[in-house]
Chains A and B, each alone.
Chain A
């Protein structure tokens, strides 16, 4: 149902981690590993967020677009659905379903502006064709629930209002993972409040217990979030580039043949591009700030 999560197709279509982590055979043949798979989805999440900021749509649209992109890759391969076209097309579709329609030509314009790399270029027609393919791949299930809606009330009730920005940043960052495909959104929201409580050294045990939510699940999600931040320290532009590079068959073959030209410089061109999205990594682990971190970090809350 449209606003009852428990009767919605979003709830009915929730997946297990293993299902989400299944790399499509066509992609495997190109040497894409699970790690590559996650890296590319992370990279595309940042791409969508960056594009969204240029065309000025709100966070909920970004979140829906990212969810669409991640849902598509549970059913279709990256070989068939080039992420560099899928990502902006998901944003295009999400802008319609979230009632903030963005014109395709505007997306095309900003893609050109943001990325000098030609592999990102696309035409209006390609976005429109991809929009229909996405509809099909999603089996026309377009409703997406997000943690945002319930968040202000929960944050207020938990007495965490002074950490609002931190919590919103954490929630935004969860879209860099596949959590939205696996867990009910309110549990993701609670997990972010939990992480924030730990960081702020605020004891919210009693409040959480009163909620009658599945606290084990909330803690598990919180652990996943922390693990993600941990793993993120190891992500470099080179690794993302390498993963993206495998998507282009010819180049992959050339590489097998003689290992020519190295990495395509795909991420290079968007250096710093990930800074727009709230990125609380620094807050979490300030001592690990290093030059080879993938993307920049935006401290929203210090």
Chain B
């Protein structure tokens, strides 16, 4: 725990069922904390705290939408909301999720920067299959995710669900069966590297096919460890034309034509042709050479069908799950990280850095217990404190975390390497208790630096992320 006992006594009752370990993420929506359930120390929880609403706004519509969807959803490959808590005192809202140790962003980066080796086929296939399985569930229930990217695809760490993929971040998700407003009214959707061409060309009505495009991009990234289409984002509001992103796509997939994509002619940005995209000529090297796959390889076949220009011809999640690729050896498995047959080298992925200094600001302050309450949900955890209060001494060598982060900002600019070696070592140890991770963490600078990079995460519920990544 980060606070002393006195403070703990004054915590709202619902919060006392958790031992807070530290901060693991931050974004415009608020903060994300790692916690353990006191009654079940083996269970880790990510608590997403929404920032207090600005004057007169109440609970953010994003949070409402996310809660509404998450309360309805139940699937092995979708992140599980275990509790919602409200602190009436400061009008803050907390969502408690099952905690996942890894995400695809970190897994891919670890392979690229540390392992220097492609992710093994079994892992790629298992991750992709589970991702599609979760997405198929969402789509068959008329839920579009709209913001799929590697940092939103979580993978469970050690434990009963090890290696299980969880789709996270439903802040932008929505039901598309009967929207009251056109889908495009909700503002910009999907980080541009994973954004489907119909969105880039200004489609007003789009479909679940936008998620499949993103899955295609993620599949290619799992294979090559590099984002497939790394466009430079044009920052302007609202919804600027992303020429560079389209350029990157056309360079790999060739120029789209009305022959292959009938509705192309009706898309606003294509029609207006302000920046002469229609006239560009592309000398396409072919997707297969970019991903280093033979055109005859079923993996290539699947990928190219996900990256189909015409959203109506693009493979659906259900169709993708039936693809030949998933019926060939190695067959996909539930534990994506550890193949069922020995032989393949098992990679130990780094654990998520935890800032054990940041206090659970807002709730750590003195509040009478009756001011806040938690509603227990089905499958949630019990409110009883079987283990009693177990205070873990705060790591003494790290003081004033937030301040430090700011001080480090300058240093950070000079540091190029990510330096996660010691984190990997910590992960390899596996059973290190959570709350000690701060102590066992790599040299401060590295950890701090990582937190810094995480700070620009936006709109990501539950887990840290970066809005746009540059390597």
Contact = CB atoms under 8 A, between A and B. Distances in A.
Given A128-B58, A128-B91, A132-B58, 13 more contacts: A1-B72, A2-B72, A3-B177, A8-B72, A61-B180, A99-B65, A99-B179, A99-B180, A103-B56, A132-B91, A142-B64, A143-B71, A149-B178
Interface of B: 53, 55-59, 61, 64-65, 67-69, 71-73, 84, 86, 88, 91, 93, 141-143, 174-175, 177-181, 186, 373, 375, 377
B59 A96 contact: yes
Given A1-B73, A132-B86, A139-B375, A96 B61 contact: yes
A60 B180 contact: yes
Nearest to B373: A136
Interface of A: 1-4, 7-9, 58, 60-61, 92-93, 96-101, 103-105, 124, 127-129, 131-133, 135-136, 139-143, 149
A4 B68 contact: no
A133 B89 CA distance: 12
A139 B375 CA distance: 7
Given A2-B141, A92-B58, A143-B71, A97 B65 contact: yes
Contacts of A128: 53, 56-58, 91
12 contacts: A1-B72, A2-B69, A3-B141, A3-B175, A9-B72, A124-B55, A127-B58, A128-B53, A135-B84, A136-B86, A140-B377, A143-B71
A99 B93 CA distance: 19
Contact of A143 (B61, B72, B181, B375): B72
A131 B59 contact: yes
A92 B239 CA distance: 28
A127 B57 CA distance: 10
Contact of B71 (A7, A131, A136, A141): A141
B49 to A, nearest CB: 14
Contacts of A136: 86, 373, 375
6 A-B pairs with least C-beta separation: A3-B142, A142-B68, A128-B58, A1-B141, A96-B64, A96-B61
A142 B71 contact: yes
Contacts of B373: 136
B68 A97 contact: yes
B88 A129 contact: yes
B315 to A, nearest CB: 22
A135 B86 contact: yes
Contact of B180 (A8, A9, A100): A100
A132 B91 CA distance: 8
A97 B142 contact: no
A198 B181 CA distance: 35
A99 to B, nearest CB: 6
B362 to A, nearest CB: 15
- Max count, chain B CB within 10 A of own CB: residue among A2, A93, A136: A2
B181 A99 contact: yes
Contacts of B64: 93, 96-97, 142
Nearest to B67: A140
B175 A2 contact: yes
Contact of A132 (B93, B141, B174): B93
Contacts of B93: 132
A127 B186 CA distance: 25
Contacts of A101: 61
Contacts of A99: 61, 65, 174, 179-181, 186
Contacts of B56: 103-105, 124, 128
A53 to B, nearest CB: 16
Contact of B91 (A9, A105, A129, A143): A129
Nearest to B95: A140
Contacts of B53: 128
A262 B375 CA distance: 41
A132 B377 CA distance: 17
A89 to B, nearest CB: 9
B379 to A, nearest CB: 13
A154 to B, nearest CB: 15
Contacts of A140: 67, 71, 84, 375, 377
B71 A9 contact: yes
B180 A98 contact: yes
A92 B53 CA distance: 15
A149 B174 CA distance: 17
A139 B378 CA distance: 11
